[in-house]
């Protein structure tokens, strides 16, 4: 039974802030305790709901209000604690979010009645090694990207699967994505679209300077290692589009299945295919 609900909100979306006010009123009116990040509580001028991260992550459920990016942020809080996330779609595409704002009341009622499923979504962890020493680690639900800087020239990426050399790409970068992230950056770079239920990793070069470079789908049990170099040394790593980690020539990035996984509340396990049709105009003829 759900008693405590934490709200993760996209602060730059006025619609998200308006909806959050309404959601708090409705949730409290139905006997649920609401917790907000201090920043959100301040923006909404609702200091009584502000809490620390420990209290927020002790919630029975997190409601992510915004777009898929908000769910990615929520996943980094929720995954280590196995807290289920309900995504409210206020973004542009919304491949991960499950409901629209007007569906919150019915969704919470279904959760309270046990009429839902929890999907465990594969996550990846990237570890950066410099001269053989691990210097940082990052968790991702969508993808890990190694890419050149804004004005850098093409970079060189020696790529290994486990410890077997695969290829050297001269490219703008490389994406290692999960099935959840297959509809994000990897798709834009020409990668395959993969059902989130699949247990695989996607390796997608970005603008590779060769006709032989193709996206690759790997078992999730495999590990991808990328050793990066460039003349000017301007390149970096990002996990889920978050904070940038500056890399040096010779750094190695190892990406593998994470111990953590994201728990998403879903009501229709096959909704992914409806979203493909609706969000990407799947199979539709586009008239210009």
Which residues are catalytically annotated? 68
SS3 of residue 76 by DSSP: helix
Helices (H), the chain: 14-29, 38-43, 53-56, 68-78, 104-112, 185-188, 271-279
Whole-Å CA distances, 131 to 67, 145, 160, 168: 38, 21, 17, 20
Cα 176 to Cα 159: distance, rounded to the nearest angstrom: 11
SS3 of residue 4 by DSSP: strand
176-208: b (≥16 Cβ within 10 Å) or e: bbbbbbbbbbbbebebeebebeeebbbbbbbeb
Cα 168 to Cα 29: distance, rounded to the nearest angstrom: 59
CA-closest candidate to residue 76, choices 266, 263, 222, 265: 263
CA-closest candidate to residue 204, choices 220, 216, 194, 196: 216
């Amino acid at each position: 039974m759900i008693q405590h609900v934490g709200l993760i909100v996209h602060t730059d979306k006025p619609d998200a802030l308006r909806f959050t006010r309404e959601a708090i009123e409705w949730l409290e009116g139905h006997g649920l305790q609401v917790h907000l990040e201090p920043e959100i509580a301040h923006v909404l001028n609702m200091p009584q709901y502000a809490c620390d991260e420990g209290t927020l992550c002790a919630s029975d459920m997190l409601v992510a209000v915004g777009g898929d990016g908000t769910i990615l942020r929520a996943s980094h809080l929720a995954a280590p604690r196995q807290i289920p996330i309900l995504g409210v779609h206020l973004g542009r595409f919304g491949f991960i979010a499950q409901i629209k704002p007007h569906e919150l009341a019915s969704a919470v009622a279904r959760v309270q009645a046990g009429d839902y499923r929890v999907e465990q979504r594969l996550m990846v962890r990237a570890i950066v090694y410099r001269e053989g020493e691990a210097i940082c680690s990052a968790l991702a639900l969508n993808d890990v990207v190694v890419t050149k800087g804004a004005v850098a020239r093409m970079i060189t990426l020696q790529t290994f699967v486990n410890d077997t050399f695969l290829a050297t790409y001269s490219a703008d970068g490389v994406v290692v994505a999960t099935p959840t992230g297959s509809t994000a950056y990897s798709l834009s770079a020409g990668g395959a679209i993969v059902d989130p239920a699949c247990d695989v990793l996607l390796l997608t070069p970005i603008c590779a300077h060769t006709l032989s470079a193709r996206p690759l789908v790997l078992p999730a049990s495999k590990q991808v290692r990328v050793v990066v170099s460039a003349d000017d040394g301007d390149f970096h790593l990002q996990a889920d589009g978050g904070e940038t980690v500056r890399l040096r020539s010779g750094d190695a990035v190892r990406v593998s299945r994470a111990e953590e996984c994201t728990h998403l509340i879903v009501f229709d396990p096959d909704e992914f295919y409806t979203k493909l049709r609706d969000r990407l105009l799947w199979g539709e003829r586009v008239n210009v």
